[in-house]
Structure 1
Amino acid sequence: MLIESILHDAVMVEIKFAWSELGGDPALLARVSTVARKGALPARLPVRELARACVGACALAGAELGAHRAGLARVPGVRVDDGAVATAFTSERQLLVDGRPPVLFAPLSRFWRTADGWVRTHANYPHHRERLSRALGVPQDPAAVEAALAERSARDVEEAVYAAGGLAVALRTPEEWAAHAQAAAVAARPLVERGRLDGAHARALAPLRGGGTPLLPAAGLRVLDLTRVLAGPVATRTLALLGADVLRLDAPRLPELPDQHADTGFGKRSALLDLTADRRAFEELLAAADVVVTGYRPGSLDRFGLSPEALAGRRPGLVVAQVSAWGPDGPWGGRRGFDSLVQVATGIAAVEGSPERPGALPAQALDHGTGYLLAAAVLRALTERSYDGGSRFVRVALARTAGWLMAGRDAAAEEDGEVHEGPGAWLAETDGPLGRLRYALPPVSFESGPGDWARPPGPWGADPARWAA
């Protein structure tokens, strides 16, 4: 019994930290149980522990809100299984569309040798490929890009591509990142930022009647999803799982990658809306929203009146959730970024490989982990708002999640547990408008909670820009 208790405490350490960052009641941690599995998300860094913590905290936040709305005497028990978590954290790799594997990275999205080291580019979208090509003065051809990069320094490429609106980041060691001004800006903020925007009256949540099977903590809540790639869509996909009416809005001129949409579109509807030309339609949606989730560069939506303060001013009681790559301030605060680039900048790629030959995490764990943290923060904000009122904001960043992961690198160790035998037990198939999909089941699990999404993804942008009846 003593050994089991010690093992349980070791497994729970990171879940306790995440729950504390979310402002959760520590007494509720007793409702969490875990299934540890050796070999899940193998890495030099404690990826499995981070993934487990993010999912566990999210499930507990959902169970807490569900108990509150259903009038339950106690919060439902939460179960976190490393197998389900590992499968979900690689959901984009598990996807099959009519038996076809997904396209994950375009040919110009990869590591490249430079004259003095390495740089990683992200060019999955056509406009990012065009900007990379323009910055380097070469065609969109891997051989031409490789030759151009081999003659330049990594830091020079980083700045030149950024200036052109593209995405390239030089490989840094943990020590080099620690000396960077952006690292200081990231370290100055908590893992999850939370706060009130005003003193709006408490907006009571409608009770969940009839016992609710499954128990859907976010039932009846309306979520405007203004996110892309990958953390934000993971968060809103999770809110959809828990019963929210999630409406994703995209600009008509920025098509989503089809496989990416198929992976993260479960449970949601998808509409196209020009925030300038269709302003009245957006304001009508906002007037009935409970949550707005944004995933664009900090400040980039402010000119549309979409800052947290402006949104809450027009919709008192709103929860505004924001996710970014680098955080809202510091010299890189306004830069675009993706999981793969944050791994390279913060030293993760150097730790998982070496400065001479960089590596990568076994999953886009910064994206997925941050996504579950964001969903958890929204759920907790809804619970807190129902008691204390006030419009709320929550804010997370991939670079902060990276800092948390790197902080545990010296303590990383293989835990005991069952052997992870692959994702098979946590995969399902469904037919839908996009074809026959094989997909990863959701890892967020609590007593009487949902085990799957209510609907498969539909075609990108095909739904009307209005709330469900």
Structure 2
Amino acid sequence: MLAARGGPRAGVTVDRAAVATAFTSERHLRRDGEAFESFAPLSGFFRTRDGWVRTHANYPHHAERLLAVLGLRPGADRAAVAGRLATRSSLSFEADATTAGALAVAMRTPDEWAASDAGRAVAGEPLVRVTDSGEARRPLRVLPEPGAGPAAGLRVLDLTRVIAGPVATRTLAYLGADVLRVDPPGLPELVPQHLDTGLGKRSTLLDLTDRADRARFDTLLADADVLVTGYRSDAMHALGLDAGTVRATHPDLVVASLTAWGDSGPWRGRRGFDSLVQVATGVAVVTGSADDPGVLPAQALDHATGYLLAAAILEALTRRASGGGGSAIAASLARTASWLLSRPRPASGGRTPDPGPWLADLPSPYGTIRHAVPPFRLDAQPHDWVSGPVGWGTSPPRWL
């Protein structure tokens, strides 16, 4: 991409230890030396009368819905949740939780997932779907200066949350893009996730259902090169920000969307997170024991899908730099899980590399942030972001 934009060809170095550290970046995050909890008390595995479910209640509104669907008072503890779930059927509770907007998934084997309507739909999707348009109506921006990163000067609107989507846009920020994350004012991000995935980005708040804020957003969109979304497809369609609608009026835009469960099949509109996708697709069975479910040694579905999405965006921008038009890109955690399950299984007993060489510090309004550096580096480029995370929602809604 750098060469396509008139810069020199740059070598890329990837270190396995750096990759392992980056894939667990949230575990290495420190603020002034202090670590964060990865999961809230009501998130995790619970026994049911016929198996297991896994819940996700890291966000306060998800915890409230989980307690409500179980008929528990606000503030009830994990033991109370366990007691209620012990009497429930896994699939029945999964259905009730989904209807209530809570997050809980029944544990399935890989074969059970593959035989389900949702599993078959996901298996029929490509790992990353890319649809290109024809020739460009306007050229891609030129590199602003010699020695700049391959994405320098490009403008990225970031409508993502949690890990996978923010990892993709964090990667573009490392490569020099002006990444502006846009969040709704009433839905704050968890502090550790903002600190971990906000490196090198700016952050603004806009209510896209408000006329004035939507006008500000549309002004940003008109001058953007990339739009990345990580919300449910139905939510994006309701806002007129699905790929088809956006590209009809912005044909040169690269529009990348990430979902939990894919863009086809009966689960396409469901909420989901890495931990839940592992449980539904059979990863928890494969990594578990005869008595207990297991987990991957990292939130690998999130990180892998984020880097896949970033790579597809960079490839699409390279085509734009060569005169091509925009692209629509789609990826999902569930499709990444299906791909992972199809690969040979590694032997047990692997060694965890020392993360020390792949950690660095950056200042921020929250304090000094120790973080994992990118899993790759470019020749003649610093191996870190140019800045730490800004205060959440403190950036003006305009391009640099």
TM-score computed with the length of structure 1 as normaliser: 0.81
TM-align CA RMSD: 1.7
User: How far, CA to CA, are the matches of 2:349 and 2:57 in structure 1?
Assistant: 37
The answer to whether residue 255 in structure 2 is matched with residue 320 in structure 1 is: yes
- Which residue number in structure 1 is paired with residue 51 of structure 2? 117
User: CA offsets per residue over residues 253-309 of structure 1, 9 Å max, x none?
Assistant: 111101110110000000100001111111111111000000001221111110112
Structure 1: which 5+ runs fail to align? 1-64
Please give the secondary structure, in 2, of the residue aligned with 1:184. helix
Aligned match of 2:309 in 370, 374, 379?
A: 374
Which stretch of the first structure deviates more once superposed, 384-393 or 300-309?
Answer: 384-393
1:131 has 2:78 as partner: no
* 2:182 is equivalent to residue 246 of structure 1: no
Q: Is 1:306 aligned with 2:241?
A: yes
Q: Is the 1:202–1:387 contact (alpha carbons within 8 Å) kept by the matching residues of 2?
A: no
Cα distance, 1:133 vs structure 2: 1.0
- Aligned mates of 1:355, 1:293 — CA distance in 2: 40
The alignment status of 1:269 with 2:202, answered yes or no, reads yes
Structure 1 residue aligned with 2:79: 143
Q: Matched residues in 2 for 1:451 and 1:315: separation?
A: 34
Measured in 2, the distance between the counterparts of 1:252 and 1:210 equals 35
- The letter for the 2-side match of 1:368 is H
Which of 42, 47, 50 in structure 2 is aligned with 1:108? 42
Q: How does 1:340-379 map to 2 (within 5 A)?
A: 340-354=275-289, 356-379=291-314
Counterpart check, 1:259 vs 2:192: yes
Corresponding residue number in structure 2 for 1:89: 23
Matched, 1:78 2:12: yes
Counterpart of 1:428 in 2: which secondary structure?
Answer: strand
Q: 1:395 aligns with which of 325, 330, 334?
A: 330
CA distance in 1, matches of 2:204, 2:395: 5
What secondary structure, in the 3-state scheme, does the structure 2 residue paired with 1:68 have?
coil
Q: Deviations over 1:388-411 (max 9, x none)?
A: 42221111000111111100145x
2:127 corresponds in structure 1 to 191
What's the offset of the Cα at 1:207?
3.6
Letter in structure 1 aligned against 2:253: L
* % identical equivalent positions: 57
Mapped contact 1:270–1:460 kept (Cα < 8 A): yes
Poorly superposed stretches of 4+, deviation over 6 Å? none
2:15·2:376 contact (CA, 8 Å) conserved in 1?
no
**Secondary structure of the residue that 1:299 maps to in structure 2?**
helix
* 1: CA distance, partners of 2:102 / 2:348: 38
Q: Given that residues 256 and 313 in structure 2 are in contact (C-alpha distance below 8 angstroms), is that contact kept between their aligned partners in structure 1? A: yes
The code of the aligned residue for 1:394 comes to I
1:338 Cα offset (Å): 0.2
Q: Does 1:224 align with 2:157?
A: yes
1:459 correspondence with 2:391:
yes
Unmatched tracts of structure 2, length 5 or more: none
Q: Which has the higher helix share?
A: 1
Which stretch shifts more, 386-395 or 432-441?
Answer: 386-395
Query: 1:194: Cα distance to partner?
Result: 0.2
Match of 1:29 in 2: none
Q: 1:209 to 1:166 in 2, by over 3 A?
A: closer
Q: Note the C-alpha offset of 1:314.
A: 2.6
Partner amino acid, structure 1, of 2:63: R
CA distance in 2, matches of 1:223, 1:456: 18
CA deviation string 1:296-355 (max 9, x = no partner): 012211111101122122323000000011101111111000000000011111111136
Counterparts of 1:210 and 1:159, CA distance in 2: 54
The 5 Å alignment of 1:143-162 reads 143-162=79-98
The counterpart of 2:33, out of the listed 99, 109, 113, is: 99
Inter-CA distance 274–112: structure 2 relative to 1 (3 Å threshold): same
How many residue pairs get aligned? The number is: 396
CA contact (8 A) 1:158 1:170 kept: yes
Output the CA distance in 1 between the equivalents of 2:307 and 2:220.
Answer: 25
Alpha-carbon deviations, 1:395-431, whole Å to 9, x = none? 1000111111100145x34799xx6541001011122
Q: Could you report, residue by residue, the CA deviation over 1:36-92 in whole angstroms, capped at 9, with x for unpaired residues?
A: xxxxxxxxxxxxxxxxxxxxxxxxxxxxx01221343xx422221111001111110
Q: Is contact 2:363–2:387 with CA below 8 Å preserved after alignment? A: no
- The equivalent of 2:368 in structure 1 is 436
Q: Following TM superposition, by how much is the alpha carbon of 1:193 offset from its aligned partner in structure 2, in angstroms?
A: 0.2
**Contact 2:144/2:152 (8 A) holds in 1:** no
Q: Is the 8 A contact 2:319 2:325 kept in 1?
A: no
CA contact (8 A) 2:232 2:271 kept: yes
Rounded Cα–Cα distance in structure 2 between residues aligned with 1:352 and 1:386:
43
Q: Could you give the per-residue CA deviations for residues 198-223 of structure 1, whole angstroms, max 9, x where no partner exists?
A: 445254234436641xx401100000
Which residue matches 2:230? 295
Distance 1:338 1:421 in 2: 26
The DSSP-based 3-state class of the residue aligned with 2:289 is: coil
Structure 1: which amino acid aligns with 2:105?
Answer: V
- Deviation string 1:422-466 (CA, Å, 9 cap, x unpaired) is 100101112221101111111122222331101100111111111
Which residue does 1:24 correspond to in 2? Answer: none
